[in-house]
Amino acid sequence: MKNLFQQSTLDLSRQLLGMELIHEIDGKATSGRIVEVEAYKGPEDRGAHSYGGRRTKRTEVMYGRPGHAYIYLIYGMHFCFNIVTGVPDKPEAILVRALEPLRGIDRMAERRGIHLAFDEDGNPKQNKMKPLTNGPGKLCQALGISMEQYGHDLTRKPLYIKSVSEPLAEEKIATGPRINIDYAGEARFYPWRFWIKDHSFVSR
């Protein structure tokens, strides 16, 4: 079988939905199902950090092989996790915007500073679960992802992606414009945001 990452950025964006993103720290795993992503295709995409072929210390990893982690600090406070895609010297990436928590939920809540509450059946209440991972900065904090993982090969532990089910049926996938790139001119309207339809952990 071909490497998961050897396909077009838009195709991979769809295929990532439903897959599990896992990070193991001190032998303990936290993970979630990927439910929302955005594709960025430099150098022509004005919404991308690599627009115009911008090649800096921050964006360098996007110019390398696909399947590695592109991570950056945003607004001086939050990290965003991306998967490098495309081929070397074609700087493309996919931003993971939201997860549905799977493993290590107690640890994720700790890292996020959220006190879990449970219903009478012993299941965590949804209003405490959602803010764990329903945004790009939140999921990084929940999984303990920071600049330390910049450039990491995502086919390897401790930070990796696992296929846990059949690819999602086409009709279960929704698309729309990407979020918070008002500066990107026409590119702000490209329908390169992908999410699982009606999924409650999607960021908005």
CB of 83 closer than 8 Å to CB of 94: yes
Nearer to DNA, 74 or 164 (CB): 74
- For residues 138-160, one letter each, b for 16 or more C-beta atoms within 10 angstroms of the residue's C-beta and e for the rest, the string is bbbbbbbbeeebbebebeeeebb
- Continuous segment of H or E residues that includes residue 36: strand 28-41
Asked if 67 touches DNA (CB under 7 A), the answer is no
- In whole angstroms, the minimum distance from the beta carbon of 22 to DNA comes to 19
The residue among 42 and 104 lying less far from DNA, judged by its C-beta, is: 42
Smallest distance from DNA to CB 194, Å: 13
- Measured between alpha carbons, how far is 103 from 143 in angstroms, rounded to an integer? 10
From residue 69, give the alpha-carbon distance in Å to each of 60, 65, 73, 94, 124. Answer: 11, 10, 13, 10, 30
Query: Which tokens hold the place of 62?
Result: 């996007």
46 vs 172, beta carbon nearer DNA: 46
Q: Is 180 in the site for DNA (CB under 7 A)?
A: yes
**Among 66, 86, 135, 144, contact with DNA (rule: CB under 7 A):** 135
Shortest Cβ 128–DNA spacing (Å): 12
Contact set with DNA (CB under 7 A):
38, 40, 47-50, 54, 56-59, 70, 72-78, 80, 82, 93, 95, 97, 112, 131, 135-139, 178-181, 183, 203
